[in-house]
Copies of this chain bind each other. A is one copy, B any other.
Amino acid sequence: MSIGAGTDNRAVTYLGPRGSFAEAAVLKWPGSSGAELLPATSVPAALEAVRDDVVDYALVPIENSVEGSVSATLDELGSGQRLVIVDEVVLPVQFSLLARPGVALSDVRRIATHPHAQAQVRGWLGRHLPEAAVIPAMSTAAAAAALLEDPAPFDAAISQRIAADIYGLEILADEIADTSDATTRFVVVRKPGPIPAPTGADKTTLSLFIHQDQPGALLGILTEFAVRGVNLTRIESRPTKKVLGDYYFSVDVEGHVADERISEALKGLHRVCLDVRYLGSYPRHDGRAPVLRDGVTDVDFTEARVWFERLKENG
């Protein structure tokens, strides 16, 4: 593993190699400023580095990654020593065609990239380099890095803009993805500790374990959220690896554990689920506050409590 020794200073690992999408994400994360940045070879390795106190934080993809396995992230967070998410970073998925200085677009015969990236630039390649051979690489960053080998095993790499700086490459073409609005979402995790203060536009991530894949179990879980006006932004069912037929749901919801509606929903889930694994409350990357229906603001909860206490005392 390429993660170095722990230091007194803050250290952050990310899904590498150097020049990866995750490196672009970690540079965008304000918390990385001044920290030591260490690429990890895999999501499990990155999380293990946090668990082993090798680093303080890990940044890993959790949704729609071009390269990293998002399932791996979910499953790693859903088992083992608990870690919590403290922030999220969302990056547009874009690609550039990179080459060593002096290579022109017309020179390009052989291109390396990761197959998922290849699939997303298929249209552009068909229009601009219909004759080029595409060679699969471990990652888009690895493709870029390999251009420095001597002799270079291919003429160009489909990678991200950040890799040009890192490896001293030229950008032959920029923003070559066929659709322009795909994004990858990364999360920053650390060991449990003080929860980031609520901002009014937060998310909470949970793993909810249920006994069996019962017809009503998922409906019951969603009802716990709905009855408190809690909106889901992501849900994914996952088989647990322990027992055939046992499931968990990985969900993101709008809100923070400091919000009354989240507090009551979590306690409700604790009562009906086999287990609730809390994976953090943190600010949304887009700062979009939830639209709450009537009756589920903190003020509504407080008023209801005052009303009930008076009634309970006075009949």
Taking Cβ atoms with an 8 Å cutoff, the residues of A that contact B are: 41-45, 63-65, 69-72, 76, 84, 115-116, 118-119, 122, 134, 136-138, 142, 179, 181-183, 192-195, 213-216, 218-219, 222-237, 239, 241-242, 244, 249, 257-258, 263-264, 266-268, 270-272, 278, 280, 293-296, 300-301, 303-305, 307-308, 311-312, 314-315
Assembled-state Cα–Cα distance A216/B220 (Å) = 12
Q: Is the CB of B41 within 8 A of A115?
A: yes
Assembled-state Cα–Cα distance A124/B42 (Å) = 17
* Distance from A210 Cβ to chain B, minimum over Cβ atoms (Å): 12
- Chain B residues within an 8 Å CB radius of A138: 136-138
- Chain B residues within an 8 Å CB radius of A293: 215
Q: Is the CB of A235 within 8 A of B236?
A: yes
Q: Is the CB of A181 within 8 A of B301?
A: no
Q: Is the CB of A222 within 8 A of B224?
A: no
Q: Is the CB of B257 within 8 A of A232?
A: no
Instruction: Tell me whether A215 and B193 are in contact in the complex, defined as CB-CB below 8 angstroms, given that A237-B236, A271-B304, A311-B278 are known contacts.
Output: no
Assembled-state Cα–Cα distance A181/B242 (Å) = 7
A65-B71, A192-B315, A214-B231 are known; give 13 further A-B pairs, CB within 8 A: A44-B122, A70-B71, A179-B241, A181-B242, A183-B239, A195-B315, A219-B223, A222-B222, A228-B268, A233-B237, A236-B237, A270-B307, A271-B295
- A222, A233, A308, A315, most chain B CB atoms within 10 A: A315
- Chain B residues within an 8 Å CB radius of A308: 257, 263, 266-267, 270
Assembled-state Cα–Cα distance A142/B43 (Å) = 20
A230 nearest in chain B by CB position: B215
Instruction: Tell me whether A116 and B237 are in contact in the complex, defined as CB-CB below 8 angstroms, given that A219-B222, A270-B308 are known contacts.
Output: no
* Distance from A104 Cβ to chain B, minimum over Cβ atoms (Å): 26
- Chain B residues within an 8 Å CB radius of A229: 215
Assembled-state Cα–Cα distance A47/B84 (Å) = 37
Q: Which of B76, B136, B236, B295 contacts A272 (CB 8 A)?
A: B295
Q: Is the CB of A241 within 8 A of B181?
A: yes
Assembled-state Cα–Cα distance A219/B304 (Å) = 20
- Chain B residues within an 8 Å CB radius of A266: 304, 308, 311
A117 nearest in chain B by CB position: B42
- Chain B residues within an 8 Å CB radius of A263: 308, 312
Assembled-state Cα–Cα distance A223/B257 (Å) = 23
- Chain B residues within an 8 Å CB radius of A41: 115, 118, 134, 136
Q: Is the CB of B227 within 8 A of A223?
A: yes
* Distance from A177 Cβ to chain B, minimum over Cβ atoms (Å): 10
